[in-house]
Structure 1
Amino acid sequence: MPVVWPDCTSIILTMKLTAIFLIAAFIQVSGKSFSQQVTIHHKNISIEKVLQLIEDQSSYHFLFKINDLSSSRNVDLELTNVSVEQALDQCFKNTAFTYKIINRTILVKKTADLPDRAAANSFVLQKIQGVVTDEKGAPLPGVTIKLKGTTTGTITDTDGKFTLEVPDANSTLIVSFIGFTSQEVLTNGRNVLNIHLKEAPKDLGEIVVVGYGQQRKETLTGSISTVSGKEITQSPAPNVVSSLAGKLPGLVVNQRSGQPGADDPSIIVRGVATFYNGGSGSGPLIIVDGVERTIISRLNPNDIESISVLKDGSAAIYGARAANGVILITTKRGKKGKPDFSFSYNYALQSPTKVPKVLDAATFAQVYNEGNFYRQSTGSTFTTPPGYQPFYSDAAIQAYRSGSDPVNFPNTDWAGVTLKNHSFVKNYNMQVIGGSDNVHYLFSFGRLKQDGGYVHDPQNYTQYNFRSKVDVDINKYLNIGANLSGTLDTKAYSTVASNVQFINILQANPTITAIYPNGLIGPGRLGENPLLIDQRGYDNISETPLYSTFTASFKVPHVDGLKIDASYNYDLDNVFEKRWNIPYFYYQYNVNTKNYDRIQGSATGTTELTDTYSKYTTTLSNIRVSYDHNFRNHHVAAMVGKEQQQNTFSGADAYRKNFLTQALPQINYGSSVPADQANGGSASSSARNNYFGRFNYDLDSKYLVEFLFRYDGSPIFPSNNRYGFFPGASVGWRLSEEKFLKDRAPFINQLKLRATYGEIGNDRVGTYNYLQAYNFGQNYVFGSTDAPGIYSNVLPNPNIHWEVSKKTDFGLESELWNGLLGVDFTYYLEKRSNILAIPNLSVSQVLGFPALPAENIGKMDNHGFELSVSTRSKIGEVTYSIAANLNYNRSKIIYQDEVPPQEPYQGFTGHPFGAGMYYKADGIFHTQAELDAYPHDPNTRVGDVKMLDLNHDGKIDSKDQFTFDGSVLPRYTFGLNMNFAYKSFDLNVFLQGQAAAWNYDNTFASLGTTDFANAAVERAQNRWTVSNPNGTMPRSDGYQPGNSTFYLFNASFVRLKTVQLGYTLPQNVVSKIGMNNLRVFMSGFNVITWAKQITWADPELNGGYTTYPQQRIINFGATVKF
């Protein structure tokens, strides 16, 4: 099966050659002296100016005393392509100066007399040794120690120790480490230093990724939630998006399926704020390393550095695509230090979180008899018709119950024979991170293999991914980088859709044999026995996305803080699908002949093959100019940029049938008869062009202001509406920096008020609705013959444009007692306008159009709050951190020009998105007297659901339906994350859930309707029967005139989403076997679920009978570092 397209070979070759040339360049650049040459042609130039010219042309930095150079005489230099050493020798010739090169720092020192070689050699460095620990005395590995004013430095080893040579016995060292407050340490002639770092208040020094840049969290004015890659890897979920559920305030992640490779959750940021096309355009914009991506679920979690979610006006910098929020994913990059090799292995067992329990054969037969009787009887009293005989006799029901004759009277547990007790997930990851002073690199590789849950299903998912990220400092001004990544994604499925397969399992008649004692496969539900799924062919899909990004960053010389960044990105994604259908057969026991009749299945009776090819490309170029500078206590940062993007798609498909042999499933071996063939193809392209910018100002990191904008062009709108301006602004006030608060409440580490406003667009409204579209078909009649021709069945809208979202946000952030208590609260309000809606006007059929085109007339409001509370501390040897978040969201449709409702309690205007129309149930009719005493539908009988007469007109009809505000979208979501550490043990426990969400389960309502539809045990328990008139559930084959609240269930739940227990082996043990670190762990995903009402299925799924179930995962793993 093809994996990549032919033209992919040239792309891969280009990437390989690029990588080879880059690596060769990196090796050359990373030499100790860098082999750098300089050119200087100047008369009467100061030595200080010479040193500046050398800095400009090389990667060296100079360390000297200003007073020494200010008194020196000027020099004449005529140098062309000479080494730095030669230039310095000429510069200092016949002067009172000497120098010494230490890594990339050049120390310049004045001597008492004219120097000779002995004087130069007398330049002695002082060796400083030391150890860095935390406040408890524990050593801190990886701490950075730098000589102030230079790039000379080192990092501590695994024991917190370091050694550094300095030019002066009274040097100043800067000691910094993530999560701790940086310190300046004076050596004061000491050769041995013991440095104790204090833990920084939580998050204050954290760097947050924002649109086209980074900002300090303490001065951030936007509403941006972040999660680290480390937190994500605590979950063993194969899909990285699944690991985000409940982690980030304002981000709602719902897992609707557990099918391997097709389990992408829905992602919503602060609710749904548009009703266009059923809210299908409500997903956020996703950016990975600065580039828009559509596939993120298969990112390797080990490659992720952080994830940020822009939820308010801060998203305006992404313009017409950001109204639904923006998710920014940043991957890891290399760092200075020796290569750090890590390898992780995970082996997991997975099984469904919940499989509905259905009726056994005897109960099914009894329930079906009841339903069959009710269908054939007459009147609301169920009068027995003449000659009535039950479908299943009492003797047969007893035989099903006893199991004495499994051939003729089987009791088939379809879930038991077709679903595996567990399947496997295997995950390998390897990563190398390191670098020198001027070259940083990261290389990673991963493999994931996930098996399906059906016994005879070939279903499985395999993923290989790689990433290569290299950054090179050509000199102190210029940095270049390359980020290459890709995935080989292979899905092996059956030709039966997973939801259909699950229906065939859970609704299959238990009185039908799945597999006979002699091993022959039985018929199953409507001839669809799930045990035959591997004999029906396959549906294999391979996808090979390849991503490449090349960057350059240039710091403008002599202008501190001025920088130019540029990037170019090229993405190529090839998808190939081969769907192969072949005839299959099952067996039916013939009670008359005592033989097993071979019967062809209900699918196609011949061989069929469909090959589908798709190719997607994206090119993105970006250039930005930024300025960042401090003017005493004023900090100013500004950035402007331009971005251009082009997307292309091309696809082709071919269909053949009636193959000569099943051994050759290739298109060219199919039938040559035209009727047995079909071919198709399509192509499209689009482009974007936009400008963006941001301005930040703060005074003493206390008073904060930000303005940002995007002038965006969208390709799907007409020229008069193609461009738009999207502004955003925010302010902040850090009260914790005010002197009056610092003096009176020193325990307050952070107290910040912030407010934001932004106008953002949403252009996910279909493509080219402003153009007249045409179709081909047999739509013309000449005489009595249909003739092919071009026709149009839709009207264009030449004035269509994007939705506009006006977002307002108010927030408070606080941190007390160095993290003992943290509270963040945000209230937000969004007003969405220009939503596409079809006007409520009738159209004459003479026009040939079914309806008018959609117009930008809809309006919708959306509001809510987010609350986060955290604490962290240490009790004895136990370190802990606990963080909880609670989110509330409610939307309201303001205007959509809907058909006027019949009653005031109907219609959708004024109600939340997702609201539905239902009859209001009030139990069931238990007796004929109850039925006679209350209005009801003419078809309603005793044992049916009782519908309330809401308009009190004495009858039940459509006017009694009302609008129920609940939907599958939860109004409340929450998460609780707890981390504990004791000596070498660590424990993470994460709970997640939702409240005020509702699922309507129409399948659950079905009971005893047909002989091929089984039902849940909970549905049949305590059902109304003639002999059980006090039953609380409706009768078999019950009737209701429409959807009612009786089958509308509260989908609230709390789930133990992840738990992980780890143990890190002692350093003195692992070092003996050549390792730096060895950690073993056990983790779980979707471990336990506590549901409010839906107990027979997973409450997060939309339908327990029609969806591949979510998976519970028990994982065992180890991580090794060298």
Structure 2
Amino acid sequence: MKVSIKILRSTLLNPPQEKGLAGGRWKAWRERLIGLTVVLIFCLSSTYAQVNISGTVKDAQGEALPGVSVRVKGTPTGASTDADGRYSIAVPGSESVLVFSFIGFTNVETKVGSRTVVNVTMEISTESLEEVVVVGYGTMRKSDVTSSISSISAKDIKDLPQAGVDQMLQGKVSGVTVTNNGGQPGGGVSVKVRGNTSINSNEPLYVVDGVIQEARNSSISYDQLGGVGGQTSQSAIAGLNPNDIENVEILKDASAQAIYGSRAANGVVIITTKRGKAGQSKVSYDAYYGLSTIPKKLDLMDLREFAAFSNSVRQEIAAVENTSMLPIPEFQKPEILGKGTDWQDAIFRTAGMQNHQLSFSGGSEKTNYYLSLNYFDQEGVVIGSNYDRYSTRFNIDNHVKDWLKVGLSSSFSRNNQRVALTNGTEGTVQLAVYNSPAAPVTTLNGEYATTVSVGGYNFGNALNPVARAELRKVTKLQNQLTGNLYGEIVFNKNFKLRNELNVNYSGIENKAFQPNVVLSSGYNLIGPSTLREQRSNSLYYALVNYLNYSQTFNKHSVTSQLGHEAQRTSSNNIVGMRRNLILNFESLAAGEQNGQTLDGSYNDWAMESYFARAGYTYDDRFSLNLSARRDGSSSFGPDNRIGYFTAASAGWTITNEKFAKNWKTVNYLKMRVGAGSVGNQSAGSNNYTTNIRLFASGPFGAGGIPDNVGNTKLGWESVVTYNAGIDAGLLNRRLEVKVDVYDKVTTDMLMRSELPIFTGIGTSWDDIKSPYVNAGNMRNRGIDIGINSYNITKPDFNWTTNIVFSHYKNTLRRLNNDQAALMRYTEYGNAVTLTRTVIGGPLGRFYGFVTDGLFGSVAEIQNSADQGLAIGPKGTWLGDVKFKDLNNDDIIDDKDVTFIGDPNPDFTYGITNSFKYKGFDLGIFLQGSYGGDILNYTRRTTERLFSPYFNQLATVTNRYSADNPDGNMPRFNQWHNSNWRVSDRFIEDGSYMRIQNVTLGYNLPAKFINKVKMTNARIYVTAQNLYTFTNYSGVSPELGAYNSDVLMQNVDNGSYPNPRTFNFGINVTF
């Protein structure tokens, strides 16, 4: 045996010294066997070293906790507890440390040692109990909050490739309805906190690091260069870089808002930006690149379809007695034609987008800092539109002494926007969709085309949409500087005094320029060269001082606050215009003096306020909060300047009662009730008095005329809100539910009084303005629901779901008199009514005729109400729209119009699913609206069927004719416009569900990024506005308010489409 072993060892370790192949083989085998032996030894030792640990995890009451994550610290090994709280896991050895983590509980770390059974008791996280919420002029323990406040953090909006913070709130917060007013880069959005509060602006008050920024979306309601078109221009917080945001709090009910008094009627959005933290300094770089396209094109006729349409229409016209229309030889064989000009392709494009953010943060025990630099650039999907922003932010906090802390929050932004004028019959989109595919964009010599002659007939629009979009420049440049300088003095553990100086400066430069372009034919393409410049500057500053007191004794906790605030805004504005610019120089100095205009204004507003707040909590079970504010505003006359706004709310945390300690399903339950009043002063300053408009020249020389009719009795608009809510945590806090119901009543609503026409006041935009009065009363009721579900929480896999639901219903309850109504019309003063708001109904309902199909026979026409036209092909005839005689007087006239649609949605919602698997993360965000009608005014243009020279939707091919008596579209009718009256024909359901955002990300492994000194690296791809499920036939069912008018919601008149965007991004931290 010894000999055998010796031979084996000799053979293995000392093979025969043979040369050549045999010797090489022995050498290779030896190396392999040695390696295999080492691996086997290692595996065996590892197997014997592994220890199986098992145990049970319970809460402080002894209840089992299922779904607790159990992992071995420093390794990828993990497990989770079952329904009975039991777990089992293999650990390398006795030195291993187990980490137990669960939502809402404090993490537990324990060393295994010699144990094989490790049982753990987990305590509810004191961090979650002590978590604070930002409220007006301070913070509050989340457990003490008794008002309706919603919060979102930076991680909730981190992958949304949008320019504005307000856009990112869409579908993320219950009770907050966000609607894009179009896809204009940098454009404003409509943000409503719990629906419509007023017929005036419903935008909330924004507070960024203590600095108030009122939401006054600047809007171009007229194309300042002539023509009809408008588009919301820019958001009030367009200069705020979303990458700088730490969290956002939305104060939704009056008990939370009342501390802001007369400026909080529409809700308050408090934005807190990032600050440095003590510890190692960090450098972060975030960037993304993307491409945007329009998600949908209208189905318009191409040239072949258009030629066939033109041929058949001409035959129908020629068949009418005493009417002739010759055929067009070039159109006689449509099948041999090309597709012609696609005007949608001509005005829409694939647009680029990029964002770059570089930030530095860090600090020590005494000082922390945060510095960021950002560049954002977005091309518009409509030619002639783009937006870019440069911004920087610097935040610093310093503990000068144990009793003194000072700090600064500052930002600067430069926003440059070029607007494509849409919304209107002469807007870029509308001009394109009904332009003929027979007309080219440019002629053979490279000039812009107008109309084109085919067979002796002119086709196309003299207003070339591409020429207008590319040659006209309507721009807005805004420089904004904000700052919050504060000092905090801590007298002792109970008293703290804070002093703030807030500044917000804005300089805006609006320009509208068009050159003089004369074609070789002598035709002036877009009119005389024109330049309009408007420059405005505003400076807001505020001094805020408030003293905080807090005291805890036994089971009692008391907080209070007393404060004073003085605010002032000074602004000036100058606007000038000249035409016939020399050599098309973009300078006012180059224009002629004849016909020039020059105007200017100055405005000064101030308000002084005192405010107080008190809170009391007993045994973490009962909470009571009170607040009050006194405002004195220069917006009103001496007798009405002072306003008082108070609020109270209470809460009962039921699960902290003894009888609820053993509840298994319900882990947290809190009831809240509150009531309060807030105000609105949206009438602007000095409308209580008659202002004078000065002029330099007139029939009798220089002078002045009244600019408005004053009202010395003008006072506050008041909003009173009642709120009741429930916060619940269920199934070991895996399910969190928050429900609020509210009733909000607006009284003394501010509005202009409509005076009789014979007064000559308020009949056109440049007349003496009619007086503001307190005349309206409106009620808004609704429900908000927010749900967070932690579906799966495993060491390697997590799945969470967030659902928000919002429903509200508004009713106008009073106007000047019971017969009064608020009307909105087509095309800036045209007499055709689009919406009508009356007492007892919601805001902005559509108003028009009700249809009853198409006339199919002469007998049907004769037996129906008089349509107001003679019976015959040139009057009312077969295939014309049949309108209902609602008042039964046998004639169709303006007395037969009624409400035909309601733009207000039944409810809105958002659903976010987040998945994490090891280094991967996937987010799917759905957002939508149910109910809410749309007036498709674009269809009214493109299904008009009145001219064979302009393009129409392909749906008109199924029109009524002698050859197609079953057609569902009216006949072609060039003799009168009865068929395209505003009616329910053009009302469509605006319900939709949109895949708003899908993001797939990957965090690079630590072992890789540590080699290049990174602490974090993530790459991701994002699809925004991926797909919309809707029955609406237009480009997008999300329309917002037409030119920011709350009484003109959901009117599609060639709006700027919301783009579909695909992005690639990277986040790295050093």
TM-score normalised by the chain length of structure 2? 0.79
Q: What displacement does 1:233 show?
A: 1.4
Q: What displacement does 1:786 show?
A: 6.2
- Equivalent residue, structure 2, for 1:508: 435
1:179–1:205 Cα contact (<8 Å) kept: no
SS at match of 2:715: coil
1:915–1:965 Cα contact (<8 Å) kept: yes
Q: What displacement does 1:810 show?
A: 0.8
1:806–1:830 Cα contact (<8 Å) kept: yes
1:919–1:947 Cα contact (<8 Å) kept: yes
- Equivalent residue, structure 2, for 1:159: none
Give the unaligned 5+ runs of structure 1.
1-133, 142-174, 188-192, 378-382, 405-409, 587-596
In structure 2, relative to structure 1, the CA distance for the partners of 1:955 and 1:327 (3 Å cut) is: same
Q: What displacement does 1:746 show?
A: 3.9
One-letter identity of the residue aligned with 2:206: I
Residue correspondence of structure 1 range 332-411 to structure 2 within 5 A: 332-367=274-309, 384-386=320-322, 388-390=324-326, 392-393=327-328, 395-403=329-337, 411=340
Q: How many residues align?
A: 908
Matched, 1:737 2:656: yes
1:1068 equivalent among 1007, 1010, 1027: 1007
Q: What displacement does 1:1073 show?
A: 1.7
- Equivalent residue, structure 1, for 2:526: 603
Distance 1:577 1:901 in 2: 37
Distance 1:202 1:244 in 2: 26
- Equivalent residue, structure 2, for 1:290: 210
Matched, 1:985 2:920: yes
1:754 equivalent among 649, 672, 679: 672
One-letter identity of the residue aligned with 2:902: G
In structure 2, relative to structure 1, the CA distance for the partners of 1:894 and 1:348 (3 Å cut) is: same
- Equivalent residue, structure 2, for 1:131: none
One-letter identity of the residue aligned with 2:303: A
Matched, 1:1009 2:959: no
1:791-836 per-residue CA deviation (whole Å, 9 max, x = no partner) reads 3374321101111111001111101123322222111101111113
- Equivalent residue, structure 1, for 2:20: none
2:106–2:126 Cα contact (<8 Å) kept: no
SS at match of 2:427: helix
Q: What displacement does 1:450 show?
A: 0.8
- Equivalent residue, structure 1, for 2:728: 814
1:580 equivalent among 513, 522, 533: 513
1:937–1:1041 Cα contact (<8 Å) kept: no
Residue correspondence of structure 1 range 52-91 to structure 2 within 5 A: none
Percent same amino acid at aligned positions? 27
- Equivalent residue, structure 2, for 1:440: 368
Distance 2:753 2:394 in 1: 52
Matched, 1:666 2:592: no
- Equivalent residue, structure 2, for 1:624: 546
Give the unaligned 5+ runs of structure 2.
1-67, 76-98, 112-117, 215-235, 452-459, 822-834, 870-875, 1041-1049
In structure 2, relative to structure 1, the CA distance for the partners of 1:140 and 1:802 (3 Å cut) is: farther
1:882-908 per-residue CA deviation (whole Å, 9 max, x = no partner) reads 011221110111111357389xx9971
Distance 2:481 2:693 in 1: 35
Matched, 1:1100 2:1039: yes
Residue correspondence of structure 1 range 779-818 to structure 2 within 5 A: 789-792=703-706, 794-818=708-732
One-letter identity of the residue aligned with 2:985: F
2:748 equivalent among 821, 825, 834: 834
1:983-1037 per-residue CA deviation (whole Å, 9 max, x = no partner) reads 111111110101111111233123232456432234x252222221112222334
- Equivalent residue, structure 2, for 1:453: 381
2:181 equivalent among 256, 273, 284: 256
SS at match of 1:417: helix
Distance 1:196 1:1073 in 2: 41
1:235 equivalent among 148, 160, 173: 160
Distance 1:851 1:495 in 2: 27
Q: What displacement does 1:751 show?
A: 0.4
In structure 2, relative to structure 1, the CA distance for the partners of 1:218 and 1:619 (3 Å cut) is: same
- Equivalent residue, structure 2, for 1:1121: 1069
SS at match of 2:1011: helix
Q: What displacement does 1:532 show?
A: 3.1
Distance 1:665 1:779 in 2: 27
- Equivalent residue, structure 1, for 2:1059: 1111
One-letter identity of the residue aligned with 1:810: A
In structure 2, relative to structure 1, the CA distance for the partners of 1:1000 and 1:140 (3 Å cut) is: farther
What is the alpha-carbon root mean square deviation over aligned residues?
3.4
One-letter identity of the residue aligned with 2:391: N
Matched, 1:974 2:904: no
Residue correspondence of structure 1 range 483-882 to structure 2 within 5 A: 483-493=409-419, 500-516=427-443, 519-523=446-450, 525-533=460-468, 536=471, 538-557=473-492, 560-586=493-519, 598-605=521-528, 607-662=529-584, 664-668=585-589, 670-671=590-591, 674-675=593-594, 677-743=596-662, 745-776=663-694, 789-792=703-706, 794-837=708-751, 845=759, 853-874=771-792, 876=794, 877-882=796-801
One-letter identity of the residue aligned with 1:874: I
- Equivalent residue, structure 2, for 1:327: 269
One-letter identity of the residue aligned with 1:930: E
One-letter identity of the residue aligned with 2:954: V
1:225–1:310 Cα contact (<8 Å) kept: yes
- Equivalent residue, structure 2, for 1:476: 402
SS at match of 1:384: coil
1:1043 equivalent among 982, 986, 993: 982
Distance 1:549 1:585 in 2: 53
One-letter identity of the residue aligned with 1:226: S
Matched, 1:1023 2:959: yes
SS at match of 2:258: helix
2:838 equivalent among 908, 918, 922: 908
Distance 2:281 2:948 in 1: 66
- Equivalent residue, structure 2, for 1:244: 169
Distance 1:1048 1:373 in 2: 31
In structure 2, relative to structure 1, the CA distance for the partners of 1:841 and 1:578 (3 Å cut) is: closer
In structure 2, relative to structure 1, the CA distance for the partners of 1:766 and 1:178 (3 Å cut) is: farther
Distance 2:841 2:540 in 1: 40
- Equivalent residue, structure 2, for 1:954: 890
Distance 1:821 1:965 in 2: 38
One-letter identity of the residue aligned with 1:1072: K
Q: What displacement does 1:1062 show?
A: 0.4
1:150-188 per-residue CA deviation (whole Å, 9 max, x = no partner) reads xxxxxxxxxxxxxxxxxxxxxxxxx9999764589999x
Q: What displacement does 1:582 show?
A: 1.3
Distance 1:519 1:843 in 2: 51
Q: What displacement does 1:433 show?
A: 1.7
1:162-219 per-residue CA deviation (whole Å, 9 max, x = no partner) reads xxxxxxxxxxxxx9999764589999xxxxx999987859965542211112123232
SS at match of 2:70: coil
Q: What displacement does 1:846 show?
A: 9.5
In structure 2, relative to structure 1, the CA distance for the partners of 1:1099 and 1:485 (3 Å cut) is: closer
Distance 2:471 2:994 in 1: 37
Residue correspondence of structure 1 range 407-418 to structure 2 within 5 A: 411-418=340-347
Moved more, 1003-1012 or 1083-1092: 1003-1012
- Equivalent residue, structure 1, for 2:40: none
SS at match of 2:496: strand
Matched, 1:1079 2:1018: yes
Q: What displacement does 1:777 show?
A: 6.1
In structure 2, relative to structure 1, the CA distance for the partners of 1:1083 and 1:598 (3 Å cut) is: same
Distance 1:185 1:444 in 2: 37
SS at match of 2:808: strand
One-letter identity of the residue aligned with 2:952: A
Distance 1:466 1:207 in 2: 27
1:538–1:579 Cα contact (<8 Å) kept: yes
1:201–1:815 Cα contact (<8 Å) kept: no
- Equivalent residue, structure 2, for 1:300: 241
Q: What displacement does 1:701 show?
A: 1.3
TM-score normalised by the chain length of structure 1? 0.76
In structure 2, relative to structure 1, the CA distance for the partners of 1:561 and 1:887 (3 Å cut) is: same
